[in-house]
Homo-oligomer: A and B are copies of this chain.
Amino acid sequence: MARPTPLSGFPEWLPEGRIVEQHVLDVLRRTFELHGFAGIETRAVEPLDQLLRKGETSKEVYVLRRLQEDPDAGPERAGQLGLHFDLTVPFARYVLENAGHLAFPFRRYQIQKVWRGERPQDGRFREFVQADIDVVGAGDLPYHYEVELPLVMAEALTALQEIGLPPVRILVNNRKVAEGFYRGLGLTDVEAVLRSIDKLDKIGPDAVAELVVAEAGATPEQAQACLRLAAISGTDEDVVDRVLELAVEVGARHELLDEGLGELGQLVRAAQDRAPGVVVADLKIARGLDYYTGSVYETVLVGHEQLGSICSGGRYDTLASDGATSYPGVGLSIGVSRLVSRLLGAGLVRATRAVPSAVLVAVSSEEDRHRSDAVATALRARGIPVEVAPSAAKFGKQIRHADRRGIPFVWFLGPAEAGGTADEVKDIRSGAQEPADAATWTPPAEDLFPRVVAVG
């Protein structure tokens, strides 16, 4: 077998990188659980017709067939399975399937891989890990969850700053504000305006204005009003006042606008209190997906804005429906792989070592290996990660093995007749060696497990 090469779009990490990713996942899980979100996992596959319900993502789906399946079984989709491309579609199905066993509002987090057959590029993968939180109600879902969920994500992402994640800005908007404003202006094809505004960062205001005219049937003046709305942003309630002033000036009054501004104001107030500086009201945030009906969220890493949003989501009035009941929800999804890939690729973080072991127990002879094993067992019983040397090589070689693996301590056994009283442990970084008892010795807390730390 020749040396294989990586598959573009399918990221894998070396053990040190995996420690970083695992740490990120642990921090997310802990934050979500502290907020009462229950963890679930769904299968990786969904029936293809479910995956294609929304239409727009169809090009990205990986379809499965069994190798021995009859390839001429026909092109019909019935029973065909595809890999999920997000965690929202499977969650909606899970809620419907298990509604009778869940207590609503149901709070869940879900951390899994998803797959999209897209062209790989920087920060965009074909296989990647997402970490989602959602709250879903049966029949209704109060607005306060639209305030709560981005603040949970703010807490999780802020916790990651400790290991070197740059600060984040969670950009929030409210569909009702945009829709109310457009309708107040007299524009009825709200979707077309949103789709155009969504391209602002990519194509710039002039091109967007032309699009709004061409696609949404707006006058140039209406298009300019839409652009002026999109230009408003800020971290305090002043934002609400500025939108209102603009609406009055351009004559874009609508009941939905007032409702949306009331909601956005609540979110901004709560954020100022609980996550100051993290949440920014940004009226240009549109989110192309047509199922959002209230708050929408995007998140940028400060200094890495060109990476795109690393945590997005919003409110949807119908996550799922079984005819009798509809299930509204609000949720956000972190692109963990995109985040970790940037943390590692930009050299922002590192693990203090690539292996769990804090101690390598040296072996003086293969006949005596069981004594080294016994020391390892005693240390592990007190929660210290340990491995035993691969061979009874010269101690210098055993120390170099520890060094190569990044293990900070090497344990040397005294003679058998000393019964462990003559054992010594060496910190191979400083060279300091001292007597140690396997029943009581403990490494410094910072050396116990590999840690993830900011670089520089």
Measured CB to CB, the residues of A under 8 A from B are 1-7, 10-15, 18-19, 21-22, 32-45, 47-48, 50, 53, 58-69, 71, 75, 81-83, 93-94, 96-99, 101-103, 105, 107-108, 113, 115, 117, 127, 137, 142, 144, 148, 270, 273-274, 320-323, 354-357, 366, 369-370, 373, 377, 380, 383-388, 390-391, 401, 404-405, 407, 449
Contact = CB atoms under 8 A, between A and B. Distances in A.
Interface of A is mostly: mixed
A87 B320 CA distance: 35
A63 B59 contact: no
A50 to B, nearest CB: 8
A404 B106 CA distance: 11
Contact of A35 (B14, B387, B390): B387
B127 A43 contact: yes
Contacts of A58: 67-68
Contacts of A93: 4
Contacts of A144: 366, 369
A37 B354 CA distance: 10
Nearest to A9: B43
6 contacts: A22-B39, A37-B356, A58-B67, A59-B66, A62-B66, A103-B404
A44 B7 CA distance: 11
A4 B43 CA distance: 14
Nearest to A109: B356
A7 B97 CA distance: 11
Contact of A449 (B4, B33, B47, B65): B33
Contact of A67 (B71, B117, B390, B401): B117
Nearest to A15: B38
Nearest to A405: B103
A144 B390 CA distance: 9
A41 B62 contact: no
Contact of A356 (B38, B137, B407): B38
Contacts of A68: 58-59, 117
Contacts of A62: 64-67
Contacts of A69: 117
Contact of A61 (B41, B44, B67): B67
Nearest to A68: B59
Contact of A39 (B18, B35, B40, B108): B18
B1 A13 contact: no
B98 A14 contact: yes
Contact of A323 (B2, B21, B83, B103): B2
